[in-house]
Amino acid sequence: MTEPTSTAPGPSGLVEPAAAPAGRAAAFFDVDNTIIRGASAFHLAVGLYRRGFFRKWDIVTFAIHQSRYLMFGENHKQIDEVRDKGLSIMTGHSVAEVVAIAEDIYDEVLSLRIFPGTQKLLDDHLAAGHEVWLITATPVEIGELIARRLGVTGALGTIAEHEDGFYTGHLVGDMLHGKAKASAVRELAERENLDLTASYAYGDSTNDVPILSEVGFPCAINPDRRLRRHAQTVGWPVREFRGRRRVARRSANLASLAGLAWVAGLVVRTIRRSARL
């Protein structure tokens, strides 16, 4: 783990959890690329694919999204595409089945992709007596699973509608993303009597600016280019846990190229198999 970098003044350039003012404080963490390297939904999709949930062409879509995400960060169009594809894939499957598979995927993959620096931040906040919440666009069942495994207070996530324990293919409300995250945090703070001015938020993308703007102590973790530029403009601290920025860019490029190569291989094999039929 490299030393954190910062663009804001303060003790060592950063505000530590112990420095929060008196009050009932909380820390809100985005998940993808903030706690876990890459997109958790992609790894879930791979696990579901291996268990026969959907076709190669579906995993190709998720793999292309993962490669774009590692290279360029999030954008609304990609998020909408993945949401629609994910909802169609999950239709008719049971919640219990998906959660059980997600447990295995956490043990096999996600637990190995947690940034040690972010893990320490989580632990520091818990040790300081703060509530720690994961705020993620990932389905709430998956967010809650990750929260349980990390030993934090809880999670807010996108709610996929289900009836009699089976997914319907529709959402309840909006996808928990962007401004929806900020609204959810305000509602949570009111319900749990949390002081947002004494609280912290961590995110990696410009889509996290709304939630970062809600708290007294925002911090960009592994930020994309736009969030890094915004953080520098407004004076938010920045922490980089992917390695030094030059190494981080090279790693992201290699990961993206590897992902695209894997996708190309899948496409070629699928076309060849179709041609033989």
Query: Residue type at 111?
Result: S
Burial class (CB in 10 A: 0-12, 13-18, 19+), 154: middle
Instruction: Report in angstroms the alpha-carbon separations of 47 from 39, 59, 103, 104.
Output: 13, 10, 10, 9
> Considering just the CA atoms, what is the radius of gyration of the chain in Å?
19
From CA 78, how far away is CA 131, in angstroms rounded?
31
Q: Give the Cα separation of 234 and 236 in Å (integer).
A: 6
Q: What distance in Å separates the CA atoms of residue 141 and residue 129, rounded to the nearest whole number?
A: 25
Distance CA 194, CA 170 (A): 31
The Cα-based distances of 70 to 95, 135, 183, 189, 224 in angstroms read 28, 20, 27, 32, 10
Name 268's Cβ contacts closer than 8 Å, sequence gap at least 6. Answer: none
123 is catalytic: no
Assess whether 174 carries a catalytic annotation. Answer: no
Smallest CA-to-CA distance from 159 within 175, 148, 147 is with: 175
- Which residues have C-beta within 8 Å of that of residue 50, sequence separation ≥ 6? none
Active site residues: 30, 32
